[in-house]
Structure formats: C-alpha cells, structure tokens
Structure 1
Amino acid sequence: MSKILLILHVLAAVIAVGPVTVAGSMFPAAVRRAAAAPDKPESAAAVRLLHRICRVYAGVGLAVPVFGFATASSMHVLGSAWLIVSIVLTGVAAVVLALLVLPAQEVAIAGLNGSDADAATVAAQIRRLAMLTGTFNLLWATVTILMIVRPGSSTGA
C-alpha cells in the first residue's frame, strides 16, 4: 500500500505543482508583454490563462499533502525531521501561493484592464510578483530535494 500511496503522491506533485511553477514563472513576462501592447487582446488572454492555470492547479495541488500524509503514515515516518521540515515548507509555499502570488496576479490582471497606475508602479508590482513566484518555486524545489535525499534515512539515498 505504501508504494501505491507514494506513486499517487509523486504523480500529484508532478501533475499539480509543475504547471503552477511553470505558469507562475511565465506570468510576469506575459504581463510585461501585455502591458507593452495593450492593443493586442491575445496578450491579455495569455495572462488570464496563466493565472487560471495557477489557480486551478493550486486547488488540485491539495492532493499532494493529502497523499503525502497518507504515505508518511503508512511508512511510519511522520516523526522524521526531514518530513517535518518538508511539511512546514509545503505550508509556507501554500501560503505564499494562496495569499501572495495569486492575489498579486489578480492585481496585475486588473491593471491590464484599465488601471491608471503609472509605469513605475506597474514595473515594481511585476518585479515583486516575480520575486514571490521565485520564492514559491524555491520552496518547492527544497521540498523535492528533501523528499529525495531524506536526511538520516536508512535507504542510503
């Protein structure tokens, strides 16, 4: 049963977190392009699509910790330090995504729809969004490394 849960956990992580990291990383550049070419509706449509990908897959990503807890429980490693650190980092990543990245993307989309903000303000918002997205991606990369290396594990990995 542990193997099946681990497979589901890894698949959920790849299928859910992967699109968020890619679409989130593409978003700031897409906003810059759309802001630079307000006469091209396809640019704004691309920005909205990237945001939707991030939002939908963030919801799908809830399966990752669910399968993760089930896997850890079946493997009797819930008290392992590497797992506790991974859980905390996953929680921080979720907070960064839900409370910082997605709302900042929504602000950027609203800005494309006729905001009176000056170019310097928009540029600063886009830089902040890129930094937040990078933080989210680094948190997930760290969790992935911890899941593979598992410090102190008996597997020798």
Structure 2
Amino acid sequence: MAKLFLSLHVLAAILAIGPITVAASMFPRLARTAPTPETPALLHKICRSYAYVGAAVPVLGIATGAALGVLSDAWLVVSIVLTGVAAGVLVAVILPGQSELLEPLEGGEGAVAGEEERRAAGARLAMTTGVFNLLWAAVVVLMIVRPGSTTGA
C-alpha cells in the first residue's frame, strides 16, 4: 500500500504543483505586458484550479508517511510545515494578488490602478511567487534526502 500511496503522491505533486509553480511564475510579467487580459486570466485560473487538486499532495503524503511509519520523523514534520506555509502563501497572497492585478485589465475598478502601483504590486507578487517556489524546492529536497533516515542519501 505504501508504494501505491507514494506513487500517487509523486504523481499528484508533479501534475498539480508543477503547473501552479509555472503559471504563478509567468503571471506577474504577463499581467504587465500581455496585450489582452486572456493570458494572465488563464494563468490565474490554472493556479486557482490546480490549488484544489494540489490538496491531494499533502493528503497522499501523510498517507504515505503513515504507511511507512515515518510520520514522526523530523524531515517529514518539517516538510509538512513547509507545505502548509506554501499553501498559505498561495491562498493568502498569490491568488488574491493575481486577482487584484487582473481587475483593471478586465475593465474592473481594481485597487491597483496606477501604472506605478501596478508595477510595484507585480514586483511584490513575483517575489512572493519566488518564495512559494523555494518552499516547494525545499520540500522536494527533504523528500529526496530525508535527513536522519537510514535510507537517506
């Protein structure tokens, strides 16, 4: 059962978190330079939709950890915490930031209206997306190296 959970966990991570990291990384620049709002809106929709699918990643990860009997190992606990922080950054900062930058592009009364404000908001969003991506990179390293594990590298 552990092999099944691990396989599903890795597949979910690749198929859900991968598109979020790519779309979120592309969004700030395209929100500023795209001639029409369709492309940034599509990237935002990808991030938002895959965030729901991405919830399967920690669920399957915890199931895998339980099946392997490593739920209390430090590397897994740190991975779970970093995953929670990354999810919080996505839900609390990235998705609302994308929505805020999209509103004026789509003809709304958006809060980020002036060019200088939009540029600053885009830069903040790009920085936050970088932090989000670094959190996931740290989780991947922990999953591969597993410090303190007898089977770790």
Cα distance in 1 for residues equivalent to 2:54 and 2:75: 21
Q: What code does the residue aligned with 1:128 have?
A: R
Moved more, 92-101 or 108-117: 108-117
Cα distance in 2 for residues equivalent to 1:140 and 1:117: 32
1:18 aligns with 2:14: no
Cα distance in 2 for residues equivalent to 1:48 and 1:11: 26
1:1-157 equivalences under 5 Å are 1-34=1-34, 37=35, 43-114=36-107, 115=110, 117-157=113-153
Q: What code does the residue aligned with 2:101 have?
A: A
Cα distance in 1 for residues equivalent to 2:152 and 2:79: 19
Cα distance in 2 for residues equivalent to 1:50 and 1:151: 35
- TM-superposed CA distance for 1:140, in Å, is 0.4
Q: What code does the residue aligned with 1:45 have?
A: E
1:30-66 Cα deviation digits (max 9, x unpaired): 11113xx4xxxxx310010000000000110000011
Pick closer, same or farther for the CA change 1:91–1:156 going to 2, 3 Å.
closer
Look up the SS of the partner of 1:106 in the other structure.
helix
How large is the Cα RMSD of the aligned pairs? 1.1
1:96-137 Cα deviation digits (max 9, x unpaired): 000100000000000213457221101000000101111110
**TM-score normalised according to structure 1 size:** 0.92
- TM-superposed CA distance for 1:29, in Å, is 1.0
Cα distance in 2 for residues equivalent to 1:111 and 1:64: 34
Q: What code does the residue aligned with 2:79 have?
A: S
- TM-superposed CA distance for 1:155, in Å, is 1.0
**TM-score normalised according to structure 2 size:** 0.95
Pick closer, same or farther for the CA change 1:71–1:44 going to 2, 3 Å.
same
